[in-house]
Amino acid sequence: MACTLSSVVFAVQLPIRAAEYETQNLPVLEAPPEVPAAVNSLDAATPVTTAAPPNDGIIPSSGFPTVESYTLGAGDQVRVDIFQLPEYSSEYEVLIDGTLSLPIVGQVAVAGLTLEQAERTISQAYAQRLRRPIIEIFLVTPRPLRVGIAGEVARPGEYILEREGTQFPSLVNALETAGGITQSADLRQVVVQRPDSSGGVQTFVANLWQFLNTGDLQYNLALQDGDTIYIPTRSDFDYAESLQLSAASFAAEGSQALNVAVVGEVLRPGPYAVSGSSSSRDNGTSAGSNGARQPTVSQAIQTAGGIQPEADLREVKIYRRTRNGTQLVIDVNLWALLTDGDITKDVALQEGDTVFVPEAETLIASEITEAASASFSPETIRINVVGEVEDPGAVEIPPNTPLSQGLLAAGGFNNRARQENVELIRLNPNGTATRTSIDVDFAAGLDEAENPLLRNNDVIVVGRSGIASFSDTLGSVVTPLGRAFSLFSIPLSILNLFD
C-alpha cells in the first residue's frame, strides 16, 4: 500500500497545468461515501451534546470554536491543502452561493457542511481527476454570525456578531450585544434553536443561572450562524436573585436611562427617565457610565422628589409589564431596607415599570421621624405662611416638620396675630383643597389634630387678633374724617397769610 501511495505522489510531483489534466490517463477512484444527513431534526427530543452533564440539556463550550460541529457558510475563509497538488493548496473564501471555487474541479458546494463533510465532498470532486486524493481543509477566518434574539432582553432583534480571531461568540456575548437581559428573564430555561444541514432545527436549553453562579463556561453555549435565542419570562420574583442578576455582565446597562412612572405618596408624581448613575425628569437626558448598576426603586422615588410623610413604605408596589404581555406585581418593603439594611428590597427596575407608593392607614410619630432621614426622603419641602407673621411668604423646611415649627420658620407671630388658632390649607392629589382650623400649641408634640405634619405646598394662614381688627376698622372710619377736617384748615391757613 505504501509503495502504491508513493508512486502516486511521485507521479504528480511535477506541476501539471489545468489544461493538461484533461489528457491524463489516471485511474479513477470510486466516489467517497455520500455526506451523511444531520443527526438531529426539529422532532428530536434530545439535542446532540458532547460530554454534557446529566439532564442539563446544554452543549459544553469553552467559548472556542467547536470545529467538529461548525458548518460552513458564505464568508468563511478556509485553507484547502491538496497534497498531490501543493501549488493549488491555498486559502479560499466560501462564496455568496455557498460554494468554493477550486482549481481544476471548479465550484464545489460546501454551505451547511462541517469541515469533515466538506473534506469528503472536495475529495469526491477531485477523485475524478486524481488517484486517491488527500484533501485537508482548515477554518482560517470564520464568517460573522447572524443570530436572532427575542424574549426578555433590552433590545430584541437580529444581530451580526463579529469574532476575535477564531473564537466563537458565546450566548453571553449575544445577550450583551442585545443590551442585556431584563429583570424578568428566566435564565434557567434559555432556548437556542439551530438550523441543520437537513433543513431541520436542533433545540438546546442552556442554564445560564448555573453559569452566573459557578462561572462554568460549559453553560455558556458557543453560537453558530443562524442561531435563534429566546429568553423566557419567569413567572415569579425572587429578591436575592434579582440583586444578583442586576450585577451580571449581561444584565441591562445601568447607564441607559429607563422610562418609568412614580405615583402615589411622592412629592412630584409622574413619568421619569431614571438611570443607575443619574436621572432627569420626563424626556430629559441622563448621564451615565459603562458598568453602572441598574436604577432601583429608591432611586426612582428620589427622582420624584422623595416620599410624603404619609407614605406607607411597607407596601410599595412595582407594576411590571413582561415581554409575553403579562403583568407582574412586585411587593417592595422599603421599611425593611431602612431599618434592617436589607438591600435586596431595593429592587432593580426595568423599562416601563410603574412604582406606586400608597398612603399609610395609621401614622406612627417615631416611624415618620425615621423615614424623614432616609435617602429617598426629600431634603426640603416648601410651604407658604401668610398673614400676621414676622416674615410671611414661601419657606423651605425639612420634611416631616410639624405646623408649630413651620410658624417659627416664618419668624413666628407678630403683635397683630390671632395666636389662638390658624388655618391650614392643603392641596390634595385629586385637585381639591381642604381648609382646617387648628388650635396652636407650641408645647404640643406631633399630633394630627393640634400639630400636624406639614406637606409640600401647604399654606398656613395667620389671622389678625380682635384688637388689631378693631384698630384697623376704627382707623378706616377715622381716616375720612381726618381728611375732611384738613379741608377746613386750608382756608384758615390762607387767611393767616394776611395777618
**Sequence ranges of the domains in the chain:** 2-30+71-141, 258-372, 381-464, 467-498
Residue 491 has pLDDT above 80, yes or no: no
Residue with cell 432601583: 296
- Judge: domain 258-372, CATH 3.10.560.10: yes
- State mean pLDDT over 438-445: 82
- Rounded Cα distance between 451 and 438, Å, is 8
> Which of 106-120, 414-428, 474-488 shows the lowest mean pLDDT across its residues?
474-488
C-alpha neighbours within 13 Å on the C-beta side of residue 180 = 21
Residue 450 has pLDDT above 70, yes or no: yes
Same fold, 2-30+71-141 and 381-464: no
Q: How confident is the model at residue 475 (pLDDT cuts 50, 70, 90)?
A: low
pLDDT at 469: 54
Number of H helices, E strands in the chain: 11, 21
CA dihedral (227, 230, 231, 236) in degrees, to 10, reads -150
Question: pLDDT: is 193 or 361 the higher one?
Answer: 193
Cα separation of the two ends of the chain: 160
In terms of average pLDDT, the best of 78-82, 395-399, 449-453 is 78-82
Residue 294 has pLDDT above 90, yes or no: no
Written as one string, the DSSP assignment of 158-191 is EEEE--BTTBPPBHHHHHHHTT-B-TTB-GGGEE
- Rounded Cα distance between 9 and 414, Å, is 116
> Across all residues in the chain, what is the average pLDDT?
77
Structural contact between residues 237 and 297, judged by C-beta atoms closer than 8 angstroms: no
pLDDT at 136: 93
In terms of average pLDDT, the best of 29-38, 99-108, 434-443 is 99-108
pLDDT at 434: 87
Burial class (CB in 10 A: 0-12, 13-18, 19+), 167: middle
Helix (H, G, I), strand (E, B) or coil at 297: helix
- State mean pLDDT over 187-212: 89
- Judge: domain 381-464, CATH 3.10.450.30: no
> Which of 152-161, 348-357, 473-482 shows the lowest mean pLDDT across its residues?
473-482
Cβ contacts of 40 within 8 Å, gap of 6 or more: 47, 48, 196, 200, 202
Percent of the chain clearing pLDDT 90 (strictly above): 34
Q: How confident is the model at residue 361 (pLDDT cuts 50, 70, 90)?
A: confident
Give Rg (Cα) of the chain. 40
pLDDT at 30: 33
Helix (H, G, I), strand (E, B) or coil at 16: coil
The one-character DSSP state at 263 is: E
pLDDT at 70: 81
pLDDT in tens, 454-465: 888 899 999 887
Structural contact between residues 388 and 418, judged by C-beta atoms closer than 8 angstroms: yes
Structural contact between residues 308 and 265, judged by C-beta atoms closer than 8 angstroms: yes
- CA-nearest of 340, 343, 267, 329 to 301 is 267
| Architecture of the structural domain at 2-30+71-141 | 2-Layer Sandwich (3.30)
